[in-house]
Structure 1
Amino acid sequence: MPSMKDKRSIILKSAKELFDQYGIENTRISAIVKKSKIAQGTFYLYFKSKQDLLSKLSIDSIQEYSDYLKEHTDVEQGVYYLLELSIDRIITMSKDSPKLTLIVFASVNEVMEESDWEMLYEPLRTVLKERLLYSMKAGDVRSDLNVEYTITFIISLIESTAKRFITVQHDDDIDRYKKELIEFIMNAIQ
């Protein structure tokens, strides 16, 4: 019998697959329950509603993204490498699960209040802040940079990149777009 943590993971995994396949509007809680092979009441032990599930899914997705960046970068590698990896990762996530990526961003932007947005993005903000502060000390970026504002701008640009990639989906343009975005950010912070 799966543990409580395992059941939660199973529900989230099932929801991810169904949301990505059918979209949020066309996915019913009953379909998530059926795919998860749990009782309907069990769903409500973990989530209040489909919207609550979506919020948790958003939190988990952004945490996974932040963990990936932290695991695959080091402060000494600098901001340019972090930006390159950040954008590559969001594009990969968008390619692998385009509907889910849009759903996560829609959930973040429509449902969450400003304080929730900050909490949700805190792991990513921490990684970016650590890298920017190191780069400031190393002289790679401007010493008068407002780190908090810059982090907010970078996150917004990364979100925008993911949305653009999903809606336009021109693989041949993405490398050029990515390069221009990195150069744009680097020019702003140097």
Structure 2
Amino acid sequence: MKQKQEEKYQALLQAAMDIITEKGFEKASVAEIVKKAGVAHGTYYLYFTSKNSIVPAIAEYIFEQQLEDLKEKTDDANDIWTQLKTLIDSTFNITRTYKELIIFCYSGMAFYHSFEKWEEIYFPYYRWLETKLNQAKEKKQIDPNLRTENVVRMIIGVTEQTAENMIFSNPDIDSHTIKAFKEDLFKFIKKALV
């Protein structure tokens, strides 16, 4: 997208996330979103076909934030264990930061039958981790017989499930408990990989 178009898209996306977090999806309106974004009403429909079509865009934004965070924090990490610890930390942080929006995205994607969009959104994340695992195989850090394309989905799935169970179910969970879960999760994944 051209810079001006990208700015409008990002403004609409951020406005939608703010309003949905504050009011919920059902009470959020396109009129409120465009007003908060500072764009004309018709501009919304240049980027989204309906109010519902913003759901995958929000999910994609969250995953882009996580992948950007992971890449930034693992640039200098040469071993898979540091990278996996970073992945776990990042997943817990993103889950806590975007808790309401993640819950909304799950329900929205399920309701509007957008599961194929999930795979498209996850694809860069899967590829990033698969690359890291393949590098670890070459360095003999993990079992060379693992099918990394399958293991990637398992690692991401168990990590997200653990983070979501802890954060969604326990709003007052203390940092000590979260730290213990992250440590156990890391040990579980490491044991599966060697």
- One-letter code of the match for 2:67? S
Contact 1:87 1:161 in 2 (8 A): no
Given the alignment of the two structures, is residue 92 of structure 1 paired with residue 93 of structure 2, yes or no? Answer: yes
- One-letter code of the match for 1:40? H
Given the alignment of the two structures, is residue 178 of structure 1 paired with residue 185 of structure 2, yes or no? Answer: no
**1:166: which partner in 2?**
168
**2:22: which partner in 1?**
21
- One-letter code of the match for 2:115? E
**Greater CA deviation, 38-47 or 72-81?**
72-81
**1:132: which partner in 2?**
133
- CA distance, structure 2, for counterparts of residue 188 and residue 75 of structure 1: 24
Map Cα deviations across residues 130-162 of structure 1 (whole Å, 9 max, x no partner).
110111111111011010110011121122133
**1:56: which partner in 2?**
57
Structure 1 stretches lacking a partner, 5+ long: none
TM-score normalised per structure 1: 0.88
Matches within 5 A, 1:29-68: 29-68=30-69
CA shift, 1:63, in A, is: 1.8
- CA distance, structure 2, for counterparts of residue 59 and residue 181 of structure 1: 25
SS in 2 for 1:118: helix
- CA distance, structure 1, for counterparts of residue 170 and residue 8 of structure 2: 36
Residues 163/76 of structure 1: CA separation in 2 closer, same or farther (3 Å cut): closer
Aligned residues: 188
**Greater CA deviation, 9-18 or 85-94?**
85-94
Map Cα deviations across residues 24-67 of structure 1 (whole Å, 9 max, x no partner).
23322222122112222111111111221111121122122112
- The alignment's C-alpha RMSD in Å is 2.0
Percent identity, please: 26
SS in 1 for 2:71: helix
- One-letter code of the match for 2:51? K
CA shift, 1:77, in A, is: 2.7
**Structure 1 residue ranges (4+ consecutive) displaced by more than 6 angstroms after TM superposition:** none
- CA distance, structure 1, for counterparts of residue 72 and residue 36 of structure 2: 32
Residues 75/130 of structure 1: CA separation in 2 closer, same or farther (3 Å cut): farther
Structure number with higher relative contact order (C-alpha < 8 Å, ≥ 6 residues apart): 1
Given the alignment of the two structures, is residue 71 of structure 1 paired with residue 75 of structure 2, yes or no? Answer: no
Aligned match for 1:188, one of 184, 189, 192: 192
Contact 1:33 1:43 in 2 (8 A): yes
- One-letter code of the match for 1:187? K
SS in 2 for 1:175: helix
- One-letter code of the match for 1:188? A
